[in-house]
Amino acid sequence: MGTSPPTLSPCFAEISMYQRLPISRTRLWIVLAPMVLGMVAANHPLAGQDPATPEHNAFFETAIRPALLEHCVECHSVETEASGGLLLDSKPGWKKGGDSGAAIHPGDPDASSLMVALRYDDPNLQMPPEGKLADDVIAAFEKWIAAGAHDPRESDLANAPRPKPATGLLAEEAQQHWSYRPLGNPQPPASSARTTDSPIDRFLEEPLRASGLTTTTVAEHSTLMRRIHFDLTGLPPVPPSIAAGEQSDRSANENADTYDAQAYEQTVEALLASPHFGEKFARHWMDVARYAESITLRGFVLPEAWRYRDYLVEAFNEDRPFDQMIREQIAGDLLESDDLHQRQLQRIATAFLVMGNTNLERADKTQLEMDFIDEQLDVLGQAFLGQTIGCARCHDHKFDPIPTRDYYALAGIFRSTTGLRHPGLSRWIEEPLPVEEEAERHYQALAQRSDELTTQIAALKKSVSKKLLSKDLIIPVADLEGVVVDSKAAKLVGTWAQSSHVGPYIGEGYLHDNNEAKGTKTATFEPPQLPAGKYEVRFAYSADTNRASNVVVRVFSANEETVTRINQRQVPPEDGLWVSLGEYQFEKDGQAFVLVSNEGSNGFVIIDAVQFLPRDTIESTPETQTELQTAAATEAQKKKLEEVKTAQLIKALEAEQKSITLEIRARPRYLTLVENETPTNLAIHIRGDWHNLGEPVPRGFLTALPHSQSFTIDENASGRLELAHWLASAENPLTARVYANRVWSWLMGQGLVASLNNFGTTGQSPTHPELLDWLANELIQNNWSTKHLVRTIVMSDAYRRRVALQDLDHDQAQRKIDPKNETYWRGHSRRVSVEALRDAMLQISGELDLTPKGSSIRGGTKSDYDYQSKSKRRSLYQPVFRNSLPELFEAFDFADSSVSVGKRSRSTVATQALVLMNHPWVIDRAEAAAKRFRESHSTTNSRTKPTSELVDALYHHCFYRSPTAAELATSVAFLESSSSPDDPDRLAMLIHSLFASIDFRYLP
């Protein structure tokens, strides 16, 4: 039990290298411990006993020793390593203590750091790191220490010479391993009568001949069409018309042992040019990049993650050089371009670095940032280099030539950037996307105006009471000048609803038309006995986004009717409350009223109040004098009114600022990280603990790779741009090999190096090292073109071979020689991905929405919990939510989006068949397909199409082949066996059975 944090990158491969204790001894304790630990810990009378008593010996042997053997000595033994300097395989060992002092204080469990680690009290000290021990085991250790920590293991192993900790290759010895050597320049062997002109087939010929294996022939046309369409676009081929003339041409190819090479090549070129090519290969890379659109913690949604997915689609479609894609994903924000669209893509690409599944709630922010960096290095190392860099966080890598210094040299690059901000709960970073210069000036002006408003609002608030600044500002009618008619005094036609939801407003609230019965509702505001004269008429309403933008308001004055249309989505211009309807002359006993209608309105119509403000001298009579005196305000009222006006102004300014903020937020943004103003070097964290610092390490790269010496980092730069160039260098022996191997595996079903993310000493060796280096060179020499590499592979016989020999006995014999098909003597049978399975069902049912790009997350989604997508767009565009994957995805081995996945697992479990047979979504697709095929094969020209034509069409859509005679007879008999209207939909049932079949799920 060492002291390194539990969040370190797992070094699973290390376990097999440890020197084990004798198996019979450990097995005995492992078997006995669960039966006796709880009983002994709870009941054994230790307290107050002499440490040398038989009871103490029995307790140690039955409760403590087995737990130490099972959980501790593997990392804390003189025979393996003394992690943290602590030995737990003898009493002198733990009495001496480790690098952090004594771990056990006999008689005082609470003072013993061993108990702190076992209890998981300290987030930075949790042992064993793979998971907390059972409560009864922890209780046994506590009782043991409290009773004096009796330990009969008195051997002086602690002072014995300690062997050097197990390490792998030193950096200077790196080229002893194949993957660190410079790329060779192997030439394809000469062609023989047995091979094609494909260099790939020529490289494969000699190992095949040496193994005595016979290759299968090229697959038939229908098989190849299905294979190449799924591999290059992720969609099944659409069958040609089954009209008689075309059917004969199709059958001539599909049933032959050979194929039309020219037609095949044309198909390949058409698929490479298809927009669906980028969608298919983007999904491949998204597995590697651990693409997701949410974080597990609280289900936080990453609203801009989709832009990275669309970047990949565009990059693969335009065949962007992969070395350029590397530079863009590592340092796109630091690259320059005169083209606006390219600058946008470069910045969007950096989301690669920040899409990890991060614990944003971690209180220790420095530890959080180091964990964040560790995850970045982990995915970067596996994705581009095939290296488990994270294993060097706590100590020199046990197997690969990656010293801890190299880890912190790389970590210093990312410590010189900011990927998270910590306003409390940490949060990812989204930056504004570059826009046209005119738009950029507009956004800058908005930001400047927002700053001015902040200053102005702060100054005004000093002169207004806090009460008036409440969320919903209520203005009493009595505090207003002139003659005010409130909404409660208006004459209404139709039903109007009372509300006080959005302020400010006058009186007790306002009314709205409930956004219904348009053209049938009016409100008339008529002041009683309005003195003759000239007035400004103002109309009050509260603005919001759901209001009508075309409210009709009519003013009836002395000799006229004036119509005004008001946009109630905009804040009223006067005090944030009023909009002026103009100045009007009113006569005594003449018409003087305002009528508001909801005719033709496109939202909620709001009515609050109408104000008549005198604008000239009004004749004073006893009657008008009383009215004017009533309307006049005292000095105190005037002061209060001024304060109300200021509060209204503040509300108006705040509304303007809110509007500006919303407009700024509506600017396109992208998920990214930013450079720090001052770069920094990191000190080595001893055992991965940032509280325990060693010597600083200059920012740099993996010293095991010779080309690293050609790259230097300026002291004023983070080094991220230099890292991008270092990774993408043609002199880097790993990058091109790793990517060429990925492309090969995406097409061939397995890599030349089976461990796609691990080219280290614990990974698999290449089955055909010369072919791998040739592919890597071919990639580099052809401008890092993915499409060129794909074309080269799929045009080989190795790709086009049948899955099995026609001679079944011979086939079985060869499978015993090469069961994994490492020589590529046959085609590799593969299950289509779950995305392709879903898309194929939608395509066959006629429901597939091929709309490209853009976010598919419903607006307003803040959490991914229980999210259900109803979209019928391609699976690529379904939200990848870490807490809410679709059930179909979960059943069929969708990639774990929290880690870099080189090759998806391929399970075969009962739940998969159950999902295909019973899931409502699959049943709905079968029913939709039945409706489509029933309509397309209905009676025409007074001729009823035979059922056999319908079955043939189904098989061509589902399998791109004709049914066998047995399949045709069985299907026809099933469809024609009953015509009762009460029978289930037999066509839907047949299609459902085809969806659930092996032929539908696998590529032969």
- 259: confidence class by pLDDT, cuts 50, 70, 90: low
- pLDDT exceeds 50 at position 558: yes
Q: Give pLDDT tens digits for 603-646.
A: 999 999 999 999 875 554 545 444 544 444 455 556 666 777 78
Q: Which two tokens stand for residue 338?
A: 């005169």
pLDDT at 992: 97
- Of 8-22, 251-265, 761-775, which range is least confident? 8-22
pLDDT at 548: 95
Task: Give dist(CA 772, CA 739) in Å, integer.
Answer: 10
Query: DSSP class of residue 575?
Result: T
Query: DSSP class of residue 902?
Result: S
Alpha helices in 707-849 (DSSP H): 720-728, 735-748, 769-781, 786-794, 797-800, 808-817, 834-845
Task: Give dist(CA 176, CA 458) in Å, integer.
Answer: 69
Q: Give pLDDT tens digits for 301-343.
A: 999 999 999 999 999 999 999 999 999 999 999 999 999 999 9
Q: Report the mean per-residue pLDDT for the chain.
A: 86
* Residue 750: Cβ-neighbour burial (10 angstroms; 0-12, 13-18, 19+): middle
Q: Which two tokens stand for residue 509?
A: 């609230």
Q: CB of 926 within 8 A of CB of 991?
A: yes
Q: Which two tokens stand for residue 300?
A: 């936080």
- 685: confidence class by pLDDT, cuts 50, 70, 90: very high
Q: Could you give the 3-state DSSP secondary structure of residue 586?
A: strand
Task: Give, rounded to a whole angstrom, the gap between the first and last alpha carbons of the chain.
Answer: 50
Fold classification of 470-632 (topology level): Jelly Rolls (2.60.120)
pLDDT at 162: 47
Q: Which two tokens stand for residue 685?
A: 């964290």
pLDDT at 960: 95
Find the helix or strand (DSSP H, E) in which 973 lies. helix 965-976
Q: What is the 3-state secondary structure (H, E, C) of 113-167?
A: HHHHHHHCCECCECCCCCCCCCHHHHHHHHHHHHCCCCCCCCCCHHHCCCCCCCC
Task: Give dist(CA 303, CA 862) in Å, integer.
Answer: 9
In this structure, what are the phi and psi dihedrals at residue 675, rounded to the nearest 5 degrees?
Answer: -75, 145
- pLDDT exceeds 70 at position 357: yes
Q: What percentage of the chain reaches a pLDDT higher than 70?
A: 85
Work out the average pLDDT over 205-228. Answer: 93
Neighbours of 450 (CB within 10 A): 17
pTM over the 0.75 mark: no
- pLDDT exceeds 90 at position 72: no
Could you tell me which residue, 40 or 543, shows the higher pLDDT? 543
pLDDT at 3: 37
CA separation, residue 325 to residues 328, 348, 392, 725, 739 (Å): 5, 11, 27, 11, 12
CATH 2.60.120.260 location in the chain: 470-632
Work out the average pLDDT over 117-130. Answer: 78
Task: Please name the residues in contact with 345: beta carbons below 8 A apart, sequence gap of 6 or more.
Answer: 311, 314, 315, 328, 332
- pLDDT exceeds 60 at position 250: no
How many residues are there in the chain? Answer: 1004
Task: Please name the residues in contact with 920: beta carbons below 8 A apart, sequence gap of 6 or more.
Answer: none
- pLDDT exceeds 90 at position 588: no
pLDDT at 10: 34
For 455-514, the DSSP string reads HHHHHHHTTS-GGGGSSS-EE-GGGSSSEEEEGGGSEEES--EEE-SSS-EETT-EEE-T
- 958: confidence class by pLDDT, cuts 50, 70, 90: very high
Q: Give pLDDT tens digits for 895-930.
A: 999 999 999 998 889 999 999 999 999 999 999 999
Q: What percent of the residues of the chain are helix, what percent strand, and what percent coil, each to the nearest 5?
A: 45, 10, 45
For 216-263, the DSSP string reads PPBPPHHHHHHHHHHHHHSSPPPPPP--HHHHHHHHHHHTSSS--HHH
- 6: confidence class by pLDDT, cuts 50, 70, 90: very low
pLDDT at 623: 52
β-sheet with 606-607: strand ranges across: 497-499, 510-512, 606-607
